Structure 1
């Protein structure tokens, strides 16, 4: 297992790197982080002040009505009804084929931290909970998954055809249609042959069927991996339907613009400290739901009392009346989501990825405003897997895996420098100079004979240089063909480590790696490495 500092890798912001490196600025933005490890009184106060124990049990039961909870999960659900139980929460949008690899990684981070805290604080229980953000309307993102085939070519899959970014339908309302057969078939065809493929095929064919809801399939797949860990699941849509958000929604609508101002004030502190702002606040930071769709509530230019959604006008009074009578029609925007989540859960810790840590830096004062206890915000673990085939190549070539965390065209240029005959470059450079020198002499002669011929001479020079460049490209292509196997291998490894310019964990579904060495082994590897500190990025060698 090799580990690298985040600031040595692409795609990790300065804010996140400074947070990881314990910059004092983040002590003020995340005051609960330090209290987590040495203040049982603080944790007990969260538990004692929590009032939604019976309601949250019901929400989780409704969220998981498509699966059978095992004894450990039932035990954890019962513990949630007890006054000495807190939650370690992480979450994600619904993801086809389980979403990107980091989904599993962050769940294991939460599970292992819950176990660690339970051992540390014997008088408290800590339960891992996975929040499924299915109020969202980003159907395109939720429908897609990416895997690689035997040649490490990327295969982008979608569980439904004809989706549009403009479609406002909530993911919670989405069901698979017959196109799911094609999607699963494409996934199966793309996976390399292995001894583990058949069991994966059986699992996918069992879970992904027409008329099954996307969120239920997501839970079923995750539960096949995490049931024995006692993980519980909560759908954001069920939380909304429970009407528990009512008090917070009314406060948002009764003080239009207040939360935007609170966030903007926090943003100024963040920017003064040299960081970029992750997420934007709006005049109204809740969405409205209607006919299975979700709409942004927009303040109009007419006055401060008229708003718009779905091209319809609505008064502030009408919005308040809706929230009063039907709070289930409203859900939080991105910066409000953590506050709403921790209002209905006794959260001790939230486990977030780099972008979540980024926008959570903006919301400390929102917790104060809504009188919600702000939990600790800790990072998920981060890793890249290395299979034995690629590991063997890297060792033979004496290349560190971090070398591939850059665009392939940059790698290709470096290969050209190594593999191309330097004499060829010198010969063509000499020829270019000779052409320019020769035409310069010709131009001097032409200027004395007929000045109008100078342009013709320049054109001839340009054509000669173009022909030389064409020949040089042909020679370079020939050199590249001679070394094509090397280029192909480097491209394959680039696709594997840094697909489309992003880290492996953010692109590929976990089923790829499970297909290589088995579900049990991958889960065991992630379980083990997430017991280490999450302050570096780990490269993990896969061994079956």
Structure 2
């Protein structure tokens, strides 16, 4: 296995904000607590240790025991759940939606980054324990975002009517997806493993939460992963004081809004990732998940007839805290309230909205975690690597926009010089003489000289483009092979990890896939990983 690393900015797939954060740009320092390096984790352990109480640990431990009571777990996961009781135990968290069959490939990268970081921290800080957490986004309600996965250009989609929290959805109808997928992947040894995994997860569990818990546990059970479902009455009860601050004092709204203004002042190239609402909680009950809106002293559940006075809403929180579901602004706080957490690992979009939240955390008096951009990777098979070598395409070349890649390689392999730079330089020298003549004879002639220079340069540009197009036609076979290979590595001209499902690579590598990724991904190396296997 060969591993190459590229700076994120060199890939062309990451925002300026994330590229700047990955190199610790000083202009962003006000937006985060500590940078993700060993020194930063040392301070984070000390701070979180002071703030996280034994009572919080006891609630978390009991909830985990309850959530796992019907799950067959490994010794490592069971041991990690027990460690949550200890005051020297801390967590590293990543979160992900309940995408069908894990969804895009980066699902694996998120969790592997998380597990690998806990291993590194244990080496650096042997007197503490570190537990990897996968936070399942069971309360999300955008079914269209999670009801499919892609396999070699095909979209396998679960078609059904859905509303409310996706974790509550029954798994009915997934038999059809399973049948189609089974026919597509064939009957190889690795295909049979994938079929059993899908069948056991989705056809033998009643709802999407249980199916996803089974799937993630089955893939990562040997690595001690602990899966946390925030849709839990006991965990939600610890959130009540913070729900009140959000709803009645609009603490998150004011502080996040102020931070967004600060981000816009730092750079106009940093777009706002998410905007806060005056109230950042949904009401979750009986198949609905709708926003809570304040209107003239009444608290209304959007798109329903449900409403509360302030006193009634407080009573509802105290009696049924599980009915209050945090949105994208409030959920990060919820995670940090219930977990002894040091670090959140997420994709570029996630880290971008986390960078809006530090002031809100401070106002709520909750330690703000270290933020780490998850590992990103491109997997190149041996066959694809051979093709790249034969076409003399480098690991950096393949990240070029397709037209730029074609132009670059056509210029390199063409038997004639398609670069007219020397001719343009010669033309400029000739026109210098014309300008000098105009200066000493008739200055009104300067405009005509300039116009002629521009015209002739445009003519050279046009000739260069025509010659390049002619060479593209002549070398059409090479262009076709280049573009086909790049399209394999970057489906729909996007990162492989954002489009392809892990099953494509499991068919290729089988049980070696997960260990290969664990070996290749280094969470504290904030660069892009190219894996050639």
| Structure 1 residue 185 corresponds to structure 2 residue 179 | yes
Q: Deviations over 1:362-394 (max 9, x none)?
A: 000111121111111112111010011211111
| d(CA) in 2 for partners of 1:200, 1:11 | 30
SS at match of 2:231: helix
Say if 2:96 and 2:107, in contact at 8 Å, map to a contact too: yes
Say if 2:147 and 2:159, in contact at 8 Å, map to a contact too: no
- State the 1:114 CA deviation: 0.8
User: How many corresponding residue pairs?
Assistant: 473
Say if 1:44 and 1:84, in contact at 8 Å, map to a contact too: no
- State the 1:321 CA deviation: 2.9
Structure 1 unmatched ranges of 5 or more: 149-153, 423-475
Distance 1:409 1:400, change over 3 A: same
| d(CA) in 2 for partners of 1:293, 1:46 | 35
| d(CA) in 2 for partners of 1:230, 1:192 | 32
| d(CA) in 2 for partners of 1:485, 1:65 | 59
Q: Give 1:531's aligned residue.
A: 522
Distance 1:49 1:36, change over 3 A: farther
| d(CA) in 2 for partners of 1:232, 1:94 | 16
Distance 1:217 1:413, change over 3 A: farther
SS at match of 1:197: helix
Q: Deviations over 1:17-41 (max 9, x none)?
A: 0000110133322123368526746
Which residue of 243, 256, 260 maps to 1:267? 260
Matching of residues 168-183 of structure 1 within 5 Å: 168-177=163-172, 179-183=173-177
SS at match of 2:140: coil
- State the 1:411 CA deviation: 6.4
| d(CA) in 2 for partners of 1:64, 1:260 | 35
Say if 2:384 and 2:485, in contact at 8 Å, map to a contact too: yes
| d(CA) in 2 for partners of 1:536, 1:120 | 21
Q: Give 2:39's aligned residue.
A: 37
| d(CA) in 2 for partners of 1:278, 1:532 | 23
- State the 1:347 CA deviation: 0.3
| d(CA) in 2 for partners of 1:406, 1:240 | 50
Which residue of 217, 222, 230 maps to 1:223? 217
Matching of residues 427-506 of structure 1 within 5 Å: 489-506=481-498
Question: Higher mean Cα deviation, 54-63 or 348-357?
Answer: 54-63
| Structure 1 residue 281 corresponds to structure 2 residue 276 | yes
| Structure 1 residue 85 corresponds to structure 2 residue 122 | no
Say if 1:168 and 1:295, in contact at 8 Å, map to a contact too: no
Q: Deviations over 1:130-178 (max 9, x none)?
A: 1111110011222111111xxxxx01112x2134xxx53211101211x
Question: Higher mean Cα deviation, 412-421 or 389-398?
Answer: 412-421
Q: Give 1:364's aligned residue.
A: 358
Q: Give 2:340's aligned residue.
A: 346
Q: Give 1:157's aligned residue.
A: 156
Matching of residues 202-241 of structure 1 within 5 Å: 202-209=196-203, 212-238=206-232
| Structure 1 residue 307 corresponds to structure 2 residue 300 | yes
Say if 1:250 and 1:324, in contact at 8 Å, map to a contact too: no
- State the 1:537 CA deviation: 0.8
Question: Higher mean Cα deviation, 408-417 or 363-372?
Answer: 408-417
Distance 1:125 1:29, change over 3 A: same
Q: Give 2:105's aligned residue.
A: 101
Q: Give 1:290's aligned residue.
A: 285
Q: Deviations over 1:261-318 (max 9, x none)?
A: 1111001111111022111111111111121321112344xx3545341243624413
Say if 1:253 and 1:320, in contact at 8 Å, map to a contact too: no
| d(CA) in 2 for partners of 1:396, 1:239 | 59
| d(CA) in 1 for partners of 2:51, 2:184 | 51
Distance 1:38 1:420, change over 3 A: closer
Q: Give 1:516's aligned residue.
A: 508
| d(CA) in 2 for partners of 1:343, 1:10 | 36
Distance 1:342 1:489, change over 3 A: same
Distance 1:313 1:360, change over 3 A: same
| d(CA) in 1 for partners of 2:347, 2:287 | 29
SS at match of 1:32: coil
Say if 1:406 and 1:498, in contact at 8 Å, map to a contact too: no
Say if 1:48 and 1:84, in contact at 8 Å, map to a contact too: no
| d(CA) in 1 for partners of 2:13, 2:81 | 37
Q: Deviations over 1:158-211 (max 9, x none)?
A: 2x2134xxx53211101211x312212322333377552222223222322065
- TM-score of the pair, normalised by structure 2: 0.81
Q: Give 2:195's aligned residue.
A: 201
SS at match of 1:312: coil
Matching of residues 52-67 of structure 1 within 5 Å: 52-67=56-71
SS at match of 1:136: coil
SS at match of 1:522: helix
SS at match of 2:133: strand
| Structure 1 residue 122 corresponds to structure 2 residue 153 | no
Distance 1:306 1:416, change over 3 A: same
Structure 2 unmatched ranges of 5 or more: 417-468
| d(CA) in 1 for partners of 2:396, 2:63 | 44
